Structure 1
């Protein structure tokens, strides 16, 4: 195993940060926020509301402690009347004492940083509710997830087996394979299997020397994805103070099996096939694979081939869409019989509080990995320096202060600014940008923060109007509840699928940006400057590789709750219950383009995964292996090509059909043709508890008209199947563009709504 001496990380870091401490100016003691409880029974009748009472209390201590002419004053933050009775306020120690002597005072204590659950995504997905999928599935107990990746770091606390049942399911046929720095004792009741496959890599280069000939992870990727799927509970996890709290996987009671197929020396299809083959043989219930193969037909795609066999056995395969966005048609794993997952942002940001000398506070974005003192330093803003594009100028003029750089919309230019500021060894920097790409970056190697263009106006005004402007920056802050969220990440690959564009891909979107999960503790997690490398047990990673295991974990939960469901049924439940809206109840935005632009299903599929609704979808679109073969036959694949996928001659081509029973619709058109674009036939199965009636509601794609027949469906009993048709026609001639809408089957009484996205696009994008 490659190792790095710890002192390399510790000594330079201490020296580097101490350098800032000695140069920083220490201001006087600051006010703090306190939570104050008041006695509701002593509420004075002179006030009409509790807030007036609290405001009066604050006003009464202003003159008592500071005088009416003072610029400083206590500040009411919140008033409370339900969860508690009282208020929170920014108070000095003297003001706090005055509050304690006020009428009705009960208790006061300092405001505390909230303990955020570190992945947080389970909370963002509402899995932490008192009912729902977590509880219905018993947290995924005894479901086995096979992860196809770069291996695992078995010593991570995420893979401890505390709380796991001590009996592994009898269907499990796998093993814990010994290898370099990996023995069987490293598996347990959580990590029940670990195997490695590198014969393909060795065969491709007979002179290769495999650096870690075992299932041990030397890249960190597999450790991160597997702990995201089903990692155990770990207290105190964080990324250098950011997102501090309790880490856990999406299915924390599921079992894990690692199949290492990704190597520093290469990654080849043969090894991937071997890993997936073994996972199926071992008896896994879900396969999570955060990789893909570009530019290959289905019959040459190892993931397509292996996942067909998995699907036959009821194993759902969850895969990543790729990170080649925002261009269209960059998606991989557009395989009709698997789940393809796009990546979105979450409602959590990491700060960066910029405090100006006049007391004004601005929240910015940063992941600088240290609690550096950048306090009461000169704020430098002038034409010669503000471009931040000259290391020489910055080094000679701005080393003793915080530089305010010019606003930039270009992401690459912003990265250059960061590099120049770091090379100049500045004590602090403020960058200005509204680019959403910056919120996907974690490369903060100098003490700096990014603020919005709107906030920058206040900073510039302050800097210009004061002879000696000053500022401070506070780091290691975490903010939850950011709006809007989610948004389609800029990097997530878009459809249509090059391997087969007749099925809408991706299927859904899941959290993929700044996901905190277990990591190889001997690798770089962050840096300070260019010479201080920081390892960590947990790290933030972004990508569809991070979104995929979220969907894999939810699939494991659904498998535990509905063991009889097919892979297609689970995928259908995820698709038809996904939400196209963000937390402002507006359509999800696309950060790959302008931040205000709404995302199309080619970026987000049906929308953000909604685990609790997927538990009870009402209706499902199921599909059999023969249904997929009918599609392959319609594609005019040869018998041999089909056989490479199906491995069996028992399937036939008597009913070739492009009309796969899929829970979404996509059509390509040519403006020269104004006839019927397409007709679909769909079959839905009632998985509700009893008889139910549904009515169709259609949101029409622009320039097209969608008709549904029949417009209502009446199910007499559970598991009954009914058919309906969808016809998409031109409505009027318009400039070629991508338009989208949806079909929602709404149950009478409102218990269920079953939504399918509709995309109509010009044939030229294929």
Structure 2
């Protein structure tokens, strides 16, 4: 690693650990205390964003390969903002201000709170200060999915990141006594696990009402010794704690079944006993089998690392969904990226490691894991285009995404935003939708905020009466969300050519049934780089539609480029 850049002004409060990779470490939540990570979340996310390449990386023997952060040659500065009392706004704002002052180029925040007006949202306020200095802030969308409108970090100047699955699983297949097999996942895969069938018991049979979730202390009076125990997701009980409860009562193994909200998303966790996490559909089949016989049995077959699942990427069930509550006319999340069973660095040994030596890795899941994937990609795009604004970088990521899985299936835009990140495309998007910090002022005034509230966000005095307010959909955002009645609605966008000089872009529109979408002009000619051009989009109801919500996309297509803007329409 090269030494820190000349512009770096930060400091390290963890001197024995700082080097040319980790160039800064500060504790903003407890002054004078160490910024060291003793829990794992910060180490995992930091290494995902910018960890150096490590050969032979694995977690409990799974996922073998070379592990690397998204931007392996980037420097890391760590700012600790969470402690025993949570993550106070004062620490978050202090860290953002400190990081920007220290000279960072990208901020990655794998944290967030409930939806709030932007003037009451510490992260939104801090992130606005960052973009004024040219620093884009990438934030986790939250883990409250699949509930509608459950997002965190909704401000349009933030890159809001949802989580997707990948095509890799740590396979563990449940074999039932009726010979049916149910595929699942687990990180802990004991090599000496016997293949014999075990008695199968449903934790919901416990007299304790929380037994179905294998809550701590709930299985004391249920005979689980030497048996395979079926536990259900939920109950506000951590997945690993469910296995601990089974093991502490003598259970030999666990099947963890999803509830309907978790659907098909299964996770490779470092359980403390043999286990398999299976889908809701598989769980129904398992319970039906148990109800069909007086002596149900099952075994688990551990299959190691399995590559090539065709139903990936999928939006993870837990990934928070739109629409935005704070600003419904802005599409959120912005993008999705890998956030399920992510392998990255870990600061402490896992439970099932004996005499660990060398680097330790773990697999965990969440939008916290997706966020640093995008943060690293932001760093790569910024390195390639140091003169681009935060909004330009964000636009490049959003307009170049993939919108289908390996089977060609598409998700709802309020689940996936603009789509799944395409790192290679983001560095060469062709066109960008740029927004300068002052452009957000009329948008904020249009939200109905007072002068004082807008001034709090933009950190300068604002008089909304002297600024022409605009609606949310009038912001030069790379997507559209609108409420459409009997009257047509027209919006204007400005695009900047960052692809090739002397290029011609033609529009392609994929409109839903019952809605007409007209774009003018239908062709844009650019003579030089950095030329700007305007176009207008008119949406109107055509012959009515029975659907309350419809979605589509428009593309500007040129040689080697396809610049996508999704739109979502609520039909009155």
Q: TM-score, normalised by structure 1?
A: 0.65
1:491-520 Cα deviation digits (max 9, x unpaired)? 111112222222111110111111121223
1:164-195 Cα deviation digits (max 9, x unpaired)? 113x2111111113xxxx3x232110001111
1:701, distance to aligned residue in structure 2 (A): 3.0
What are the equivalent positions in structure 2 for 1:686-705 lying under 5 Å apart?
Answer: 686-705=497-516
Change beyond 3 A, Cα 1:722–1:259:
same
Q: Tell me the secondary structure at the aligned position of residue 266 of structure 2.
A: helix
Change beyond 3 A, Cα 1:451–1:219:
closer
Q: Does 1:549 pair with 2:365?
A: no
Q: Does 1:728 pair with 2:564?
A: no
Residues 228 and 254 of structure 2 are in contact (CA less than 8 Å); yes or no, is this contact kept in structure 1? Answer: yes
Residues 476 and 493 of structure 2 are in contact (CA less than 8 Å); yes or no, is this contact kept in structure 1? Answer: yes
1:645, distance to aligned residue in structure 2 (A): 2.1
Q: How many residues align?
A: 547
Residue of structure 1 in register with 2:102 after alignment: 282
Q: Distance in 2 between matches of 1:172 and 1:272?
A: 20
What are the equivalent positions in structure 2 for 1:370-519 lying under 5 Å apart?
Answer: 370-378=189-197, 380=199, 389=205, 395=223, 399=226, 422=247, 425-428=250-253, 436=263, 439-440=266-267, 442=269, 444-449=271-276, 473-475=300-302, 477-519=304-346
1:452-480 Cα deviation digits (max 9, x unpaired)? 7689989999xx99xx9998644371111
What are the equivalent positions in structure 2 for 1:336-347 lying under 5 Å apart?
Answer: 336-347=156-167
Residue of structure 2 in register with 1:712 after alignment: 523
Q: Distance in 2 between matches of 1:340 and 1:668?
A: 22
1:298-318 Cα deviation digits (max 9, x unpaired)? 122222222222112211111
1:611, distance to aligned residue in structure 2 (A): 0.5
1:418, distance to aligned residue in structure 2 (A): 6.6
Q: 1:252 aligns with which of 49, 65, 72?
A: 72
Q: Tell me the secondary structure at the aligned position of residue 487 of structure 1.
A: coil
Q: Distance in 1 between matches of 2:45 and 2:56?
A: 19
Q: Does 1:573 pair with 2:396?
A: yes
Q: Tell me the secondary structure at the aligned position of residue 10 of structure 2.
A: coil
Question: Is the radius of gyration larger for structure 1 or structure 2?
Answer: 1
Q: TM-score, normalised by structure 2?
A: 0.85
Gaps of 5+ in 2: 207-218
Q: Does 1:192 pair with 2:40?
A: no
Q: Distance in 2 between matches of 1:625 and 1:305?
A: 12
What are the equivalent positions in structure 2 for 1:71-82 lying under 5 Å apart?
Answer: none
1:548, distance to aligned residue in structure 2 (A): 0.8
Residues 351 and 363 of structure 1 are in contact (CA less than 8 Å); yes or no, is this contact kept in structure 2? Answer: no
Q: Distance in 1 between matches of 2:456 and 2:246?
A: 55
Gaps of 5+ in 1: 1-163, 200-209, 588-598
Q: Distance in 2 between matches of 1:393 and 1:364?
A: 30
What are the equivalent positions in structure 2 for 1:577-596 lying under 5 Å apart?
Answer: 577-587=400-410
Change beyond 3 A, Cα 1:322–1:507:
same
Q: 2:437 aligns with which of 625, 629, 636?
A: 625
What are the equivalent positions in structure 2 for 1:90-169 lying under 5 Å apart?
Answer: 164-166=1-3, 168-169=4-5
Residues 368 and 476 of structure 1 are in contact (CA less than 8 Å); yes or no, is this contact kept in structure 2? Answer: no
Residues 701 and 758 of structure 1 are in contact (CA less than 8 Å); yes or no, is this contact kept in structure 2? Answer: no
Residue of structure 1 in register with 2:455 after alignment: 643
Q: Tell me the secondary structure at the aligned position of residue 440 of structure 1.
A: coil
Residues 186 and 277 of structure 2 are in contact (CA less than 8 Å); yes or no, is this contact kept in structure 1? Answer: no
1:605, distance to aligned residue in structure 2 (A): 0.5
Residues 578 and 606 of structure 1 are in contact (CA less than 8 Å); yes or no, is this contact kept in structure 2? Answer: yes
Q: Distance in 1 between matches of 2:199 and 2:124?
A: 57
Q: Distance in 1 between matches of 2:288 and 2:112?
A: 47
Q: Distance in 2 between matches of 1:561 and 1:491?
A: 33
Residue of structure 2 in register with 1:348 after alignment: 168
Residues 549 and 568 of structure 2 are in contact (CA less than 8 Å); yes or no, is this contact kept in structure 1? Answer: yes
Residue of structure 2 in register with 1:684 after alignment: 495
Residue of structure 2 in register with 1:220 after alignment: 40
1:662, distance to aligned residue in structure 2 (A): 0.7
Q: Distance in 1 between matches of 2:297 and 2:502?
A: 69
Q: Distance in 2 between matches of 1:639 and 1:472?
A: 65
1:482, distance to aligned residue in structure 2 (A): 1.2
Residue of structure 1 in register with 2:7 after alignment: 171
What are the equivalent positions in structure 2 for 1:527-542 lying under 5 Å apart?
Answer: 537-542=360-365
Residues 394 and 421 of structure 1 are in contact (CA less than 8 Å); yes or no, is this contact kept in structure 2? Answer: no
Change beyond 3 A, Cα 1:471–1:744:
same
Residues 377 and 470 of structure 1 are in contact (CA less than 8 Å); yes or no, is this contact kept in structure 2? Answer: no
Change beyond 3 A, Cα 1:451–1:656:
closer
1:723, distance to aligned residue in structure 2 (A): 0.5
Residues 368 and 445 of structure 1 are in contact (CA less than 8 Å); yes or no, is this contact kept in structure 2? Answer: no
Residues 344 and 513 of structure 1 are in contact (CA less than 8 Å); yes or no, is this contact kept in structure 2? Answer: yes
Q: Tell me the secondary structure at the aligned position of residue 745 of structure 1.
A: strand
Change beyond 3 A, Cα 1:645–1:432:
closer
Residues 629 and 651 of structure 1 are in contact (CA less than 8 Å); yes or no, is this contact kept in structure 2? Answer: no
Q: Distance in 2 between matches of 1:263 and 1:392?
A: 33
Residue of structure 2 in register with 1:366 after alignment: 185
Q: 1:752 aligns with which of 555, 561, 570?
A: 561
1:297-350 Cα deviation digits (max 9, x unpaired)? 212222222222211221111111111111222112111112111111111111
